Amino acid sequence: MKLLTTVFFCFLFIIVSAQKITLQEEVDKLKAQIEVEGNNIKKLQLLNELTGVVRDEKSFGFDSIARITIDYAIKLDSFNMAAHRASQLIYFHNNIIGQPEEGIEVFNKYFNTLKGKITNRRLASLYIDSGDSFTFTGQIETALAQYDKALEYGQKAGNELVMAFAHLYKGYIYSDEGDFTKASQSFQEASTVFNKAKDTFNIIASKNALAILYSANGFIDEAQIERKEAISLAESIKSYGQLTSLYVNQAYDNKKQGFEEKRITHLLKAEQANKKSKYFDNLNPVLLTEIIKAYAENDSLEKARVYLQELEKNPKDTEGVFEPHYYGALKKIAYADQDYLKALNLGTKHLDMLTELNKVLEINIARLFLVEVYDKLNRPEMAFEHYKVYNRIKDSIQSVQKANSFA
């Protein structure tokens, strides 16, 4: 059996290596053709083909190739092609490498040139992807305005699918802000379209979103049903990025239920899934911080520090959109280390970051952390002040939960 296993992995390595060689050969062939092609239209077609071949492949220079293609397409008045590749480039920065600021730069650079010269469908896509950039950088009102524009032009194009994306992404924002009624409505509208289109990837996304919403409103059983179905679907299509997210969210529910061993198990499952995901660079910093927090909260400081070292290897994984997650992990290590003054400093900064992003549920969890820190520092007056605010927000959320039934 051991020999068979060894042979299998060798065979798998040969297959994967062959795939990489084939891709490299295809890229080299297209680049050589582009270099000698004298006809502008044919050169653009080759550039467009090359962009498609290396799409989302950081190691093959997708960013620079896409920009060359966009610029060349604009030069030849192929505006819809330029818009299509611009949307993909924004998506790449948002979701593959976790640099949404660059996504905004791409949008700002090309939008004024393209608008009025492209189809409503392409315009809607630009609004969708740029909306994600603004969401990830905490510019929420701008993001909502972009999604509303996507709905407007998606409707003009008669494209229900692009409108479903706008509803789904608006739902994410509403959920983060604690507006569960609007979030539920948005998710249901998106889910209806995805199910009608038999779009498995986005059916999974909708179920994941609904599971998070159910959990936030105390409907743990309903959340488990949605998430179990989503995990099964994600496994069936080998959607490892979605599996990573689903396992992390399952771990969060485990924490709420007091099942700490299961929490860590699901986070480690997420780690394994993410190793196979094309979204690794974007998901890994957040995943590592969740593992760090779980170990720090369960008397495994040495393991927490090992993962912290891994996180800090790349400074970009602790900056920008990842910074609040990083501070969330650092404060947990400081608390577990009984360095309560450091925990207070880090916890206060973390709360400020979340407040700026208007993440209502996370803000309240961060505030409760400060209550615990002030208790340890024997400062009951400050602990009480934060606890009053915590309770006020908690009561507000619970009043919404009672007024609405999502189950």
Q: Would 109 be classed as within a structural domain?
A: no
Q: Would 311 be classed as within a structural domain?
A: yes
pLDDT per position as a tens digit, 298-337: 999 999 999 999 999 999 999 999 999 999 999 999 999 9
pLDDT per position as a tens digit, 183-194: 999 999 999 999
Q: Would 196 be classed as within a structural domain?
A: no
Q: Are 172 and 135 in contact (CB under 8 A)?
A: yes
Q: Which two tokens stand for residue 66?
A: 């896409």
**How many structural domains does the chain have?**
1
Domain holding 326, by residue range, is: 260-334
DSSP conformational letter for 218: T
For residue 322, what are the CA distances in angstroms to 135, 178, 326? Answer: 13, 21, 6
CA 193/CA 121 separation, integer angstroms? 17
pLDDT per position as a tens digit, 224-247: 999 999 999 999 999 999 999 999
Angle between helices 2-36 and 40-53 (to 10 degrees): 160
User: What is the C-alpha radius of gyration for the chain, rounded to an integer number of angstroms?
Assistant: 23
Q: Would 308 be classed as within a structural domain?
A: yes
What is the reported pLDDT for 401?
55
What is the reported pLDDT for 360?
83
Q: What is the pTM of this model?
A: 0.83
Q: Are 54 and 89 in contact (CB under 8 A)?
A: no
pLDDT, the chain, mean? 91
Q: Would 300 be classed as within a structural domain?
A: yes
